[in-house]
Amino acid sequence: MSNLLSLVVPVYYEAECIDQFIAETRVVLASLPIRHEFVFVDDGSDDDTVGKIRGHAETDQRIKLVELSYNQGKQAAVTAGISYARGDYILYMDPDLQDPPEEIPRFLAEIEKGYDLVFGIRRQKRDSLLNRVYSRLFWGTLNRFTGLQVPTGLAVMRIFNRAFADRFLEYREQNRFIEGIFMHIGMKRSVIEIEQRERFAGVSKFNFRRKMSLAFDAILDFSELPLRMSMRFGLGLSFGSLVAIVVILVMKMMHLDFRAGWPSLISALMFGFGMQLFFIGIAAVYIGRIYRETKSRPLYSIREVTNLDGPGKQSSG
């Protein structure tokens, strides 16, 4: 029996993309000497996304659908998809066709050379200036903070083998930043450059706020640098005040004119208080995350599955 390729596809309000996505992808897959399955994960869309996929699933057993019971975020959807995928190779892509299906054979050829993970890199970015600036800032800061060295210009499309998928599923953290986990697994990886298209239909679900919150998550999940920085800052501030105290004492002893005043005193105190609250805040954010992790709730909640039996591999906490 030939190898199986699973396509894991998270969908959230993508009804307009589904038909085109399946049609184009099928043509490409038909030319490959490998069996395939689609594992769509609906992340709680309230449009015709599920209806469309179910329609295709009725006539094709290889089209599988996992429906999350409400919108749980792309990271949860992808995790669910990977846990249901049965393939020897798992290719992960979005249905908006920004990363074109024609690139699938190159991913397959590359992973068959013996890599565990093959990332796609965007050859040219078809993106607004603001988005490009954002992603430079995002990945730059992230790599600086975490030392993960995520390649720049990452595309969505990527492929990995069964061993890599199994390793991925061992990561049970609630706050999941998938790119970070992928880098953290650190098996043999390769990168290929791919073309980009415009989104086929619909709109991006990642507005500025969602992107910021993802950036925040990513840094907190893979770095303790904010904690260390606040410690260093506190230390620096204390040392500075110590020096100031010595200077004041010396001035007093030498009977130099030293005019002390309330305003400067109060503003210095306020500054100190403010900094304390800020740093306690940073620590509190980490504590909140520890709290969330200790509850070890399931990573996602499923309403229904189609053309699949039983729970996915390690589907709950």
In the stretch 72-111, what mask flags binding to ligand UDP with x, by CB under 6 A? -xx--x----------------xxx-x-------------
The answer to whether residue 43 forms part of the interface with ligand UDP (CB under 6 A) is yes
Q: Which one of ligand UDP, Mg ion, none is in contact with 273 (Cβ closer than 5 to 8 A by kind)? A: none
Q: Which of residues 173-212 bind ligand UDP (CB under 6 A)?
A: 204-206
Q: How far apart are CA 263 and CA 239, in angstroms?
A: 22
**In the complex, minimum distance from the CB of residue 315 to ligand UDP, in angstroms, rounded to a whole number:** 17
Between residues 14 and 103, which has the closer beta carbon with respect to ligand UDP? 14
131 vs 301 by CB, closer to Mg ion: 131
Six token digits for residue 122: 């965007």
Task: Tell the smallest beta-carbon distance from residue 66 to ligand UDP (Å).
Answer: 11
Q: How many chain residues are in contact with ligand UDP, going by CB under 6 A?
A: 16
Structure tokens at 20: 């085109």
CB neighbours of 150 closer than 8 A, spacing ≥ 6? 139, 142, 143, 179, 180, 183
The dihedral built from the CA positions of residue 172, 178, 182 and 184, taken in this order, carries a sign that is negative
Q: Considering the complex, what minimum distance in angstroms separates the CB of residue 18 from ligand UDP?
A: 10
316/287 Cα distance (integer angstroms): 23
Residue 37 contact, options Mg ion, ligand UDP, none, Cβ 5-8 Å cut-off depending on partner type? none
Give 96 or 179: the residue with its C-beta nearer to Mg ion: 96
Q: Which residues contact 255 (CB under 8 A, 6 or more apart)?
A: none
d(CA 152, CA 154): 6
Min dist. Cβ of residue 61 to ligand UDP (A)? 23
Sorted by sequence, the CB contacts under 8 Å of residue 158 that are 6+ apart come out as 91, 92, 107, 117, 118, 119, 120, 182
99 contacts which partner out of ligand UDP, Mg ion, none, CB within 5 to 8 A by kind? none
Q: Which residue's CB is nearer to Mg ion, number 98 or number 161?
A: 98
Region from 29-37, 67-75, 274-282, 307-315 binding ligand UDP, contact rule CB under 6 A? 67-75
In the complex with Mg ion, the residue whose CB is nearer, 96 or 116, is: 96
Residue 87 contact partner, candidates Mg ion, ligand UDP, none, CB within 5 to 8 A by sort of partner: none
Q: In terms of CB distance, is 71 or 143 closer to ligand UDP?
A: 71
69 touches ligand UDP by CB under 6 A: no
Q: How far, in Å, CA of 85 to CA of 5, rounded?
A: 9
φ, ψ of residue 260 in degrees (nearest 5): -90, 150
The listed partner (ligand UDP, Mg ion, none) that binds 11, CB under 5 to 8 Å by sort, is ligand UDP
Q: Can you say how many angstroms the Cα of residue 242 is from the centroid of all Cα atoms in its chain?
A: 44
Q: CA–CA separation, 191 vs 197, rounded Å?
A: 19
Beta strand residue intervals within the chain, DSSP E: 4-11, 35-42, 63-68, 89-92, 117-122, 154-161, 189-194, 302-306
The contact set with ligand UDP (CB under 6 A) reads 10-12, 14, 43, 71, 73-74, 77, 94-96, 98, 204-206
